[in-house]
């Protein structure tokens, strides 16, 4: 949740003197802050390193690296002795690591991101590593065409205690993608572009700024010369520069304030192959429940449990399907995790709410924040304190911050005891009988966000949190269809909640453990400046310790938050995922997280944070989706549809309802102070949502199948155009069109308040999804006018087969009772292929799943594969008809539709064995 209301926090003043000081602080040296940006020659003249003792093997090499001259010590002390490790791990993956000889410099823990390993013969690998001993540099080449993919020649390596620089040359005008999380162009700018990676709360997702996640992987697409990827396994704050040198050379440059150089090169050579190879490193996506593809509704500011029920009822009345209802921190007692407000969200009525939703085949999701209200008597806090899960000050007291409940303690998610404590809270509070039987969980504020701006301010509970005041609740008084009598209108008044005003929030103290981890392998160097490192990465929130847990806090294993901050949210989310597994061991967990790190997608899902109700953020949601799904291996992602901050506009919201229906995660969510923006609020959004959700639900098995194959082989379920047309240069910069799966080209209207759209159709056969009309793409832009606010252009790519349901439904449970229709879109060669994956939609173990391949070959249709899913009670595994588009006349079996130029072949056929037909 956003903290945009934050205005000013009290200066520490005399109050600070009474508290233990974390360390002697001095203001930053103005002679050093930002110096690297003003004068790159400061590091350009550093001596670099010389390689010696080079030991080669069949699968790699090792070498010693020695500082090649006098230390320059620009931002910290140069390390004199380094090690080089080169490993050919597979034929497509090369691992290159440069680290300190004493192995003290921090390296990401194996339990956070397990290493892939593997051994391959260098002479058989697709990539080739070359070493220049003095001055040390290296290059990586693609053997098949001699293309140099990475080359550090001409710029010396700098490896200091709090600054590391490595630069590689790039081709002129390169096509670089990834390096999330950001709201910048999908294909990254290549001049004067700085990509800061420091996870932080980011109100209204600013451009050219660090946001909530760290994914230091980039894809370099070179058209017919291939695509490759480079992943830097480093969690320290950093800035990656894309620029042109004074000599005219294009380059990419890593600048970190800690950690080692731990690079993984992925050979590709097709874009989707790089996606798979990245999944091999960070993990394949989890398979999420079928129902998560339904439509979700949330808003911060739902007054009480009756209002939540009323929203559900209003969607039913408007005939707009709603699969999942969410509740923000409104439901909590004074914003405390694992509580309910006894007046507005009493436990008994919360249980009734969930029971009613479940009886309607709907789901319920609640929110948690990492900060635990640090007061004796708060059961989760007392239990956590006893278990020793919270960060500690030097004197053994809890390190405290400020979040929604007021003064909070912060769990150390690396502490093994934290998992047991967190799981206990889940088992108690979300118990199906005694608690709230949630279906999923949402973890927020987990960068972690701290309402205290400064690093050295005492927490003050006054005004934290704001106390609810007694006012009439703003319900309409209408009956709520489908809910028990206790939810119907009464004359009673209930409590409300004030805005999340931070006006009264005071400052937070910074008392941290000063024990250092020196002498322990990979724990981090001692005696570093955790507040004011002389190289300033340029976070948009200020210094690296501002608005978060102080980075000199020590984790249980001796590492520091300085090095591990960027995966704090990742570890909270994965801990939560494990707790959900314990709670419901047989079912796939659904955990949505705001903060992410490389590999988060193997366990959890993500939304793009606190965006705004603007056309630009409508467009940005496409760019963010393309990067996360296709390059960061986080497939179930999406934005707050219609925007979180600012008042939504009905016309933009109608467009967004349609756009969001073709993105993986589909949730309408808004901030407390905004006007209501549920789809039923305006006639135009009702129409748009009805069409959007109707279409999304019909296509649900198609996209669920695409998710399954991303979990299995890493092929993205959302494709940028250049992934499918890698040699078409016109596709390389397209960022507002995408393939939903591999068959459906989505081309939304993206100009503010416009009814026209210009989109690109590659040189290929396409069919209009809505009319099935045949279209020959010519590799040109196409402009279409009079696109209503209830319409969105969608095309089927020739050569594909789309399985979809004959009808939509109000819930995914009812949807699964509908029969199938297969849409065949023959390609230029008269052939088409598709896939269909069927399972029960929620079980972790699927012994009876079906994986069906659909084939069309010039008049002959066939199904092959594994046919083991027979459908649960009432479910349909029947195909009622097959539609073959682009046909000239009827032949053999089938009915010819002259107006549509297609043949319909009537079933039924069961998806429990092979079958087919010939026209």
User: pLDDT per residue over 687-741, tens digit each?
Assistant: 999 999 999 999 999 999 999 999 999 999 999 999 999 999 999 999 999 999 9
Q: Residues 6 or more apart from 403 whose CB is under 8 A from it?
A: 335, 369, 370, 371, 445, 448, 449, 450, 451
8 A C-beta contact, residue 635 and residue 624? no
Which value, to the nearest 10 degrees, does the dihedral of the CA atoms of residues 98, 101, 104, 108 take? 30
Catalytic site residue from 563, 610, 671, 839: 610
> Is 514 designated active site?
no
Tell me the CB-side half-sphere exposure of residue 598, using CA atoms within 13 A: 30
Q: What percent of the chain has pLDDT over 90?
A: 85
- For 785-891, list the strands marked E by DSSP: 794-797, 800-805, 820-825, 831-838, 850-857, 860-866, 878-885
User: pLDDT per residue over 105-119, tens digit each?
Assistant: 999 999 999 999 999
Q: Say what the pLDDT of residue 453 is.
A: 82
User: pLDDT per residue over 294-337, tens digit each?
Assistant: 999 999 999 999 999 999 999 999 999 999 999 999 999 999 99
> Is 437 designated active site?
no
> Is 610 designated active site?
yes
Q: Which residues pair with 593 in a beta bridge?
A: 443, 606
Cβ-in-10-Å burial (0-12, 13-18, 19+) of 117 comes to exposed
Residue 772 in tokens: 């099935």
Q: How is the beta sheet containing 794-797 ordered, strand by strand?
A: 718-719, 738-740, 744-746, 794-797, 765-768, 774-776
Q: Say what the pLDDT of residue 506 is.
A: 25
Cβ-in-10-Å burial (0-12, 13-18, 19+) of 756 comes to exposed
How many helices, marked H, and strands, marked E, lie in the chain?
A: 16, 46
Q: Say what the pLDDT of residue 457 is.
A: 67
Q: Residues 6 or more apart from 142 whose CB is under 8 A from it?
A: 126, 127, 128, 149, 225, 226, 228, 267, 269
Catalytic site residue from 447, 460, 742, 839: 447
Each residue of 77-86: b (16+ CB within 10 Å) or e? ebbeebbbeb
Q: Say what the pLDDT of residue 641 is.
A: 98
Q: Which residues pair with 861 in a beta bridge?
A: 856, 917
Question: pTM here?
Answer: 0.93
pLDDT band at residue 892 under the 50/70/90 scheme: low
pLDDT band at residue 23 under the 50/70/90 scheme: very low
Q: Say what the pLDDT of residue 900 is.
A: 87
User: pLDDT per residue over 122-160, tens digit each?
Assistant: 999 999 999 999 999 999 999 999 999 999 999 999 999
pLDDT band at residue 499 under the 50/70/90 scheme: very low
Mean of the pLDDT values across residues 828-844?
A: 98
Mean of the pLDDT values across residues 513-530?
A: 70
Q: Say what the pLDDT of residue 394 is.
A: 86
User: pLDDT per residue over 787-833, tens digit each?
Assistant: 999 999 999 999 999 999 999 999 999 999 999 999 999 999 999 99
d(CA 207, CA 611): 11
8 A C-beta contact, residue 908 and residue 892? no
Please choose, from the candidates 271, 273, 323, 331, the residue with its C-alpha nearest in 3D space to the C-alpha of residue 299. 331
- 382 vs 895, residue with greater confidence: 382
Q: Which residues pair with 65 in a beta bridge?
A: 51, 82
Catalytic site residue from 444, 460, 649, 842: 444
Domains of the chain with CATH codes: 40-179+215-282 (2.60.40.1760), 721-918 (2.60.40.1180)
User: pLDDT per residue over 209-267, tens digit each?
Assistant: 999 999 999 999 999 999 999 999 999 999 999 999 999 999 999 999 999 999 999 99
Does residue 361 surpass a pLDDT of 80? yes
Q: Say what the pLDDT of residue 95 is.
A: 98
Return mean pLDDT, the chain: 91
Which value, to the nearest 10 degrees, does the dihedral of the CA atoms of residues 264, 267, 273, 275 take? 20
| DSSP string of 677-707, one letter each residue | --GGGSHHHHHHHHHHHHHHHHTHHHHHHHH
Q: What percent of the chain has pLDDT over 70?
A: 90
8 A C-beta contact, residue 471 and residue 492? no
């Amino acid at each position: 949740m956003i903290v945009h209301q934050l205005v000013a926090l009290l200066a520490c003043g005399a109050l600070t003197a009474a508290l233990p000081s974390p360390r002697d602080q001095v203001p930053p040296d103005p002679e050093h802050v930002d110096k690297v940006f003003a004068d790159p020659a400061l590091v350009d003249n550093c001596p670099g390193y010389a390689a010696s003792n080079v030991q080669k093997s069949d699968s790699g090499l090792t070498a010693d690296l020695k500082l090649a001259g006098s230390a320059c010590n620009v931002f910290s002390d140069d390390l004199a002795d380094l090690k080089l490790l080169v490993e050919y791990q597979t034929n497509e993956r090369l691992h290159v690591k440069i680290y300190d000889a004493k192995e003290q410099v921090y390296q990401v823990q194996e339990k956070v991101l397990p290493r892939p390993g593997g051994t391959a013969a260098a002479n058989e690998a697709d990539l080739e590593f070359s070493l220049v001993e003095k001055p040390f540099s290296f290059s990586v080449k693609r053997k098949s065409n001699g293309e140099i993919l990475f080359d550090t020649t001409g710029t010396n390596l700098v490896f200091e205690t709090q600054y590391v620089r490595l630069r590689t040359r790039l081709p002129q005008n390169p096509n670089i993608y990834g390096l999330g999380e950001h709201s910048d162009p999908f294909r990254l700018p290549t001049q004067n572009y700085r990509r800061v990676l420091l996870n932080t709360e980011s109100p209204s997702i600013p451009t050219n700024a660090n946001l909530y996640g760290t994914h230091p992987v980039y894809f370099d697409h070179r058209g017919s010369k291939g695509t490759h990827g480079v992943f830097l396994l480093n969690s320290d704050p950093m800035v990656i520069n894309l620029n042109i040198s004074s000599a005219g050379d294009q380059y990419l440059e890593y600048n970190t304030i800690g950690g080692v150089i731990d690079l993984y090169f992925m050979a590709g050579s097709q874009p989707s192959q790089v996606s798979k190879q990245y999944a091999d490193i960070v993990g394949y996506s989890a398979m999420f429940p079928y129902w998560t593809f339904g439509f979700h509704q949330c808003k911060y500011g739902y007054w009480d449990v009756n209002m939540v029920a009323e929203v559900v009822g209003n969607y039913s009345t408007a005939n707009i399907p709603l699969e999942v209802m969410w509740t923000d921190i409104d439901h909590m007692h004074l914003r405390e995790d694992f509580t309910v407000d006894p007046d507005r969200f009493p436990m008994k009525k919360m249980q009734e709410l969930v029971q009613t939703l479940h009886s309607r085949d709907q789901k319920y999701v609640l929110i948690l924040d990492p900060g635990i209200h640090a007061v004796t008597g708060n059961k989760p806090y007392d239990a956590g304190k006893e278990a020793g899960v919270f960060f500690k000050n030097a004197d053994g007291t809890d390190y405290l911050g400020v979040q929604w409940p007021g003064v909070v303690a912060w769990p150390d998610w690396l502490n093994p005891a934290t998992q047991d404590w967190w799981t206990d809270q889940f088992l108690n509070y979300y118990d199906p009988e005694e608690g709230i039987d949630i279906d999923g969980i949402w973890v927020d504020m987990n960068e972690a966000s701290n309402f205290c701006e400064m690093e050295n301010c005492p927490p003050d509970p006054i005004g934290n949190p704001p106390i609810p005041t007694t006012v009439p609740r703003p319900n309409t008084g209408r009956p709520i269809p489908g809910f028990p009598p206790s939810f119907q209108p009464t004359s009673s008044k209930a409590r409300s909640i004030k805005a999340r005003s931070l006006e009264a929030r005071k400052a937070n103290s910074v008392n941290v453990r000063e024990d250092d981890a020196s002498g322990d392998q990979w724990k981090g160097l001692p005696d570093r400046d955790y507040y004011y490192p002389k190289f300033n990465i340029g976070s948009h929130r200020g210094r690296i310790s501002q608005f978060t847990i102080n980075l000199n806090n020590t984790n249980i294993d001796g590492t520091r938050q300085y090095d591990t901050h960027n995966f704090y949210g990742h570890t909270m989310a994965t801990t939560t995922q494990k707790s959900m597994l314990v709670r419901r061991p047989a079912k796939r967990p659904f955990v949505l997280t705001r903060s992410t790190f490389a590999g988060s997608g193997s366990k959890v899902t993500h939304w793009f944070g606190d965006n705004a109700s603007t056309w630009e953020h409508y467009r940005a949601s496409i760019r963010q989706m393309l990067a996360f799904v296709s390059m960061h291996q986080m497939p179930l992602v999406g934005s707050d549809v219609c925007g979180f901050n600012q008042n939504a506009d009905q016309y933009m919201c109608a467009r967004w309802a349609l756009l969001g229906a073709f993105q993986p995660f589909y949730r309408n969510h808004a901030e407390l102070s905004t006007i209501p923006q549920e789809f039923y609020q305006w006639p135009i959004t009702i129409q748009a949502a009805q069409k959007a959700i109707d279409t999304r639900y019909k296509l649900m098995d198609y996209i669920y199948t695409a998710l399954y194959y991303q979990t299995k082989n890493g092929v993205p379920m959302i494709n940028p155009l250049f992934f499918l047309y890698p040699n078409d240069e016109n596709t390389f910069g397209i960022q507002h069109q995408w393939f939903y799966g591999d068959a459906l080209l989505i081309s939304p209207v993206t100009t503010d308040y416009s009814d026209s759209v210009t989109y690109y159709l590659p040189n290929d056969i396409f069919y209009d999804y809505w009319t099935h009309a045949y279209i020959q793409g010519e590799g040109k832009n196409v402009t279409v006018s009079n696109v209503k606010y209830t319409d969105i252009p969608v095309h089927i790519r020739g050569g594909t087969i789309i399985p979809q349901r004959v009808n939509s439904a109000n819930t995914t449970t009812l949807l699964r009772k509908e029969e199938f229709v297969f849409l065949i879109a023959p390609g230029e060669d008269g052939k088409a292929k598709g896939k269909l994956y069927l399972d029960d939609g929620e079980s972790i173990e699927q012994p009876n799943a079906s994986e069906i391949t659909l084939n069309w070959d010039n008049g002959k249709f066939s199904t092959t594969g594994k046919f083991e899913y027979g459908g649960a009670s009432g479910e349909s595994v029947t195909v009622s008809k097959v539609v073959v588009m682009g046909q000239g006349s009827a032949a053999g079996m089938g009915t010819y539709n002259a107006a549509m130029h297609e043949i319909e072949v009537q079933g039924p056929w069961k998806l429990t064995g092979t079958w087919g037909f010939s026209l």
